[in-house]
C-alpha cells in the first residue's frame, strides 16, 4: 500500500512538474544596448517564415531546419484576410492555425516574434486586408476613420484570443509583438499609431511592443515609447544611429527585416543574390551584438489566389508569382541551400558558450513522377452559378467574392468591326464572341482595348476576368476592386445589360463525364493517378499556358508560361500513397493533356 502511495506521489509530482514547466513565465525586457531574457543579454537571431505559405504538416520540419542553421527565433506575420475571409466569419483552423504554429515553435526550442498588424504587405493579396473592406463606403485603411477602426478592433480582439496567452510573460514563447508595419512609408499620424497600441493592449498583448520601418520612414513610423526597429539596413553604425535617434539615444538594436534576396513577379527575371554578398554583413551585425530577423529565412509558396501585386505611378501593375522561394536560405521545399550553409557557418561563430548546433537534417527526396495523362475535360463555362441582370458589369466586391474569376456575358448587334474598350480591367481579360476566343487584354501591359470583328446578327459577347492579385503596397491600397470596375464600350458607345457570374473556384464541383471543348474556351482537366510512395515534385507546366493547379483538393497556386516560374511545387505532405486526384484550370492552351514533372524547380525561365 505504501509503495502504491509513493508511486502515485511520483506520478503526481511528474505531471505537475511538466505542467509547471510548460507555464514558466519568463521576463523579456530592454536595456540600453541589448534585449534581456530573464535578466540576461539575449541576441535575437530570427528568420521569417509564414504559416500560410508552408503546409501545416511541414511546420515542424521547417523549424528543425531553422534550429540547425542557428536561429533561436521565428518571425511571422498574421494575415487578416485568411482569418476573417468574410466579415464576422473567423477561421483559425488547418493551415490558418497560427496558435499551433507558435506552440510547435516552442516545442522545437524556438522563440517567436509576432507581427499581427492588420496590414502586412508581404507580397500578399491586398497586403493582408480582407477584400470586403473595399465594400464599406468611406472606409479608409491605415487611418482613424471609424469604420476601419471598428473592423480592425473586432479582428484584433479575435487574434488576441488566439495569441495573447502565448506571450513570454504568460508562459509562452512570443518575445515581441509588432504594431502596424512600415507605417512610415505610408503616413505619419502618431495618433493613429497610438490607437494601434491601445487596441493591441486591449487585445491582451501586454508584453514588449515595437514598430519597424525602412531608413527613410523610421521617423514617421515610430511611436514614442515603443522600441523602433529598422528594415533593410545592415551597416552597424547606421543601424545604431537610426534607432538611437528615435529611442532616446539608446537601443537595443534590432534589424526587423534583413533581406538575403528578393521576390519575383510575372514576366520579370528571377531574383537571386549570391550568399557571398551577405556573409560579411551578417558577420559584422552579429559581431556587434545586434539582433536580426532574416526576411525571408524560408519563403515557401503563396498558394491559392493569395499573391499580391505592386503598382504606382512610375511602374506598371506587377502581380507576384506563386513561388515565394525568395532565393532564401531554405528553399521553397524546405531544403538547405548554399546560402543556408554559409549563413550557418557565420552564426556558429556567435553562439553562446557551450551551445552547439544540431546536424543539418538530410534533404527531402524530390523526384520526377510519371507524366500525368488527363482523361476528363470540363468546360469552365458549363458550371456557372446563377446570375442576375444588371446594366453595368458587377465587380468582385458587388458579387461578395474575394478572389478567382468573374465571367461577364451580354449580347450585341453584329455585322461590323468595332473597338472594344474596358475601363478599369482588373486584371486579365479574355474576350469571346459566340464562344470563340478572339483576344486577351492584360493590365500588366496597360492593355484595355481590342479591335474585334462581330459576325452578323445577335452576338454573344463574353469577357472572363481574373483577379491577378490586389496591390499590397503604396498609395493605391484603396483602389483594389476587381473585375470590370468601369464601363465597356464598342466604338465609344457603352454596352449595357450584363450577366455577371462569380467564379471564386474555392472548390471544384465537376460532375459528369466531361465534354469536348472547342473555340479555346477555358477548361478544367482532371485525372486520377497512382503513386507507390509520396515525394516532393515539381509539376512542369512550361508547355501549358496559364491557369491554376489543385492536388487532392489543395490549391497549389498559379502558373503562367510568361515566367519566370515554369513549375509548380507539389509537396510530399499533400500526396497520398495510392490514388491521387489532380485538376488543372487552363485558360489558353486548352488542348494540353499531358503533365510531366521534374526533380528540380524551374524559376528563372521567361517566355514571350
Which residues are known catalytic residues? Answer: 182, 257
- Number of helices (H) and strands (E), helices first, in the chain? 10, 35
Q: 313, 262, 259: which is closest to 123 by C-alpha? A: 262
257 vs 48: CA distance, rounded Å: 8
Q: Is 405 helix (H, G, I), strand (E, B) or coil?
A: strand
Q: Within 10 A of 95 (CB to CB), how many other CB atoms are there? A: 19
Judge contact between 203 and 157, C-beta under 8 A.
yes
- Count CA within 13 A, CB hemisphere, residue 601: 26
Is residue 46 within a helix (H) or strand (E), and if so which, with residue range?
A: strand 45-48
Q: Cα(300)–Cα(565) distance, rounded to whole angstroms?
A: 14
- Candidates 89, 83, 84, 133; CA nearest to 396 is 133
CA 296 to chain centre: 12
**Residue 453 to residue 440: CA distance in whole angstroms:** 14
Q: How many CA atoms lie within 13 A of 381 on its CB side?
A: 23
DSSP sequence for 539-594:
EE-TTS-EEEEEETTEEEEEEETTSS--EEEE-GGG--SEEEEEEEEESS-TT--E
- Output the CA–CA distances (angstroms, integers) from residue 589 to 268, 380, 510, 586, 594, in the order listed: 22, 14, 20, 7, 12
- Is residue 418 within 8 A of residue 452, CB to CB? The reply is yes
> Could you tell me which of 295, 285, 224 has the C-alpha nearest to residue 254?
285
3-state secondary structure 311-360: CCCCCCCEEECCECCCCCCECCCCCECHHHHHHHHHHHCCCCCCCCCCCC
The helix (run of H) or strand (run of E) holding residue 398 is: none
- Dump strand ranges (E) for 130-192: 174-178
Burial class (CB in 10 A: 0-12, 13-18, 19+), 160: buried
Q: Which residue has the cell 493547379?
A: 549
Q: CA nearest 422: which of 482, 478, 501, 490?
A: 490
Other CB atoms within 10 A of residue 178 CB: 28
Decide: 55 and 571 in contact? Cβ < 8 Å: yes
- With b meaning 16 or more CB within 10 Å and e meaning fewer, what string describes 281-306? bbbebbeebbbbbbbbbbbbbbbbbb
Question: Which pairing describes strands 376-379 and 523-531: parallel, antiparallel, or unpaired?
Answer: antiparallel
Look at the block and give the residue holding cell 535617434.
245
Amino acid at each position: 500500500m505504501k509503495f502504491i502511495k509513493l508511486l502515485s506521489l511520483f506520478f503526481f509530482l511528474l505531471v505537475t512538474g511538466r505542467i509547471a514547466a510548460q507555464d514558466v513565465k519568463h521576463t523579456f525586457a530592454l536595456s540600453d544596448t541589448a534585449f534581456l531574457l530573464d535578466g540576461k543579454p539575449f541576441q535575437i537571431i530570427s528568420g521569417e517564415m509564414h504559416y500560410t505559405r508552408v503546409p501545416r504538416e511541414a511546420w515542424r520540419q521547417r523549424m528543425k531546419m531553422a534550429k540547425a542553421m542557428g536561429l533561436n527565433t521565428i518571425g511571422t506575420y498574421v494575415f487578416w484576410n485568411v482569418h476573417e475571409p468574410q466579415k464576422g466569419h473567423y477561421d483559425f483552423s488547418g493551415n490558418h492555425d497560427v496558435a499551433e504554429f507558435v506552440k510547435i515553435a516552442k516545442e522545437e526550442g524556438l522563440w517567436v516574434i509576432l507581427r499581427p498588424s492588420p496590414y502586412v504587405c508581404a507580397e500578399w493579396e491586398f497586403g493582408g486586408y480582407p477584400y470586403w473592406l473595399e465594400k464599406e463606403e468611406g472606409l479608409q485603411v491605415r487611418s482613424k476613420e471609424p469604420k476601419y477602426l471598428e473592423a480592425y478592433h473586432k479582428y484584433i480582439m479575435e487574434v488576441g484570443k488566439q495569441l495573447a496567452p502565448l506571450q513570454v510573460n504568460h508562459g509562452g514563447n512570443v518575445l515581441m509583438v509588432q504594431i502596424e508595419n512600415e507605417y512610415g512609408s505610408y503616413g505619419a499620424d502618431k495618433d493613429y499609431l497610438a490607437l494601434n497600441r491601445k487596441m493591441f493592449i486591449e487585445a491582451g498583448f501586454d508584453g514588449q511592443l515595437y514598430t519597424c520601418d525602412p531608413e527613410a520612414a523610421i521617423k514617421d513610423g515610430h511611436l514614442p515609447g515603443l522600441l523602433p526597429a529598422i528594415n533593410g539596413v545592415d551597416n552597424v553604425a547606421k543601424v545604431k544611429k537610426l534607432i538611437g535617434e528615435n529611442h532616446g539615444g539608446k537601443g537595443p538594436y534590432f534589424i526587423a527585416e534583413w533581406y538575403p534576396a528578393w521576390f519575383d513577379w510575372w514576366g520579370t527575371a528571377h531574383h537571386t543574390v549570391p550568399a557571398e554578398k551577405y556573409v560579411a554583413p551578417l558577420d559584422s551585425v552579429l559581431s556587434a551584438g545586434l539582433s536580426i530577423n532574416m526576411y525571408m529565412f524560408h519563403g515557401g509558396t503563396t498558394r491559392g489566389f493569395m499573391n499580391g501585386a505592386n503598382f504606382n505611378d512610375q511602374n506598371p501593375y506587377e502581380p507576384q508569382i506563386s513561388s515565394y522561394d525568395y532565393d532564401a536560405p531554405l528553399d521553397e521545399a524546405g531544403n538547405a541551400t548554399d546560402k543556408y550553409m554559409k549563413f550557418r557557418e557565420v552564426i556558429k561563430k556567435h553562439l553562446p558558450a557551450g551551445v552547439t548546433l544540431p546536424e543539418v537534417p538530410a534533404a527531402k527526396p524530390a523526384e520526377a513522377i510519371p507524366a500525368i495523362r488527363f482523361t476528363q475535360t470540363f468546360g469552365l463555362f458549363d458550371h456557372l452559378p446563377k446570375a442576375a441582370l444588371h446594366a453595368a458589369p458587377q465587380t468582385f466586391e458587388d458579387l461578395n467574392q474575394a478572389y478567382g474569376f468573374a465571367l461577364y456575358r451580354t449580347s450585341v448587334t453584329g455585322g461590323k468591326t468595332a473597338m472594344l474598350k474596358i475601363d478599369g480591367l482588373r486584371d486579365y481579360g479574355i474576350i469571346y464572341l459566340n464562344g470563340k476566343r478572339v483576344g486577351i487584354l492584360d493590365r500588366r501591359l496597360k492593355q484595355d482595348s481590342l479591335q474585334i470583328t462581330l459576325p452578323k446578327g445577335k452576338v454573344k459577347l463574353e469577357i472572363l476576368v481574373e483577379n491577378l492579385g490586389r496591390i499590397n503596397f503604396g498609395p493605391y491600397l484603396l483602389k483594389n476592386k476587381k473585375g470590370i470596375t468601369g464601363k465597356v464600350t464598342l466604338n465609344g458607345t457603352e454596352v449595357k445589360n450584363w450577366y455577371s457570374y462569380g467564379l471564386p473556384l474555392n472548390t471544384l464541383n465537376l460532375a459528369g463525364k466531361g465534354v469536348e471543348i472547342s473555340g479555346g474556351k477555358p477548361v478544367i482537366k482532371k485525372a486520377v493517378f497512382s503513386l507507390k510512395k509520396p515525394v516532393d515534385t515539381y509539376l512542369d507546366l512550361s508547355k501549358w499556358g496559364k491557369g491554376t493547379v489543385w492536388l487532392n483538393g489543395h490549391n497549389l497556386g498559379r502558373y503562367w508560361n510568361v515566367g519566370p516560374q515554369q513549375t509548380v511545387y507539389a509537396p510530399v505532405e499533400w500526396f497520398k500513397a495510392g490514388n491521387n486526384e489532380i485538376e488543372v484550370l487552363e485558360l489558353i492552351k486548352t488542348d494540353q493533356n499531358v503533365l510531366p514533372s521534374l526533380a528540380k524547380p524551374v524559376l528563372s525561365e521567361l517566355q514571350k
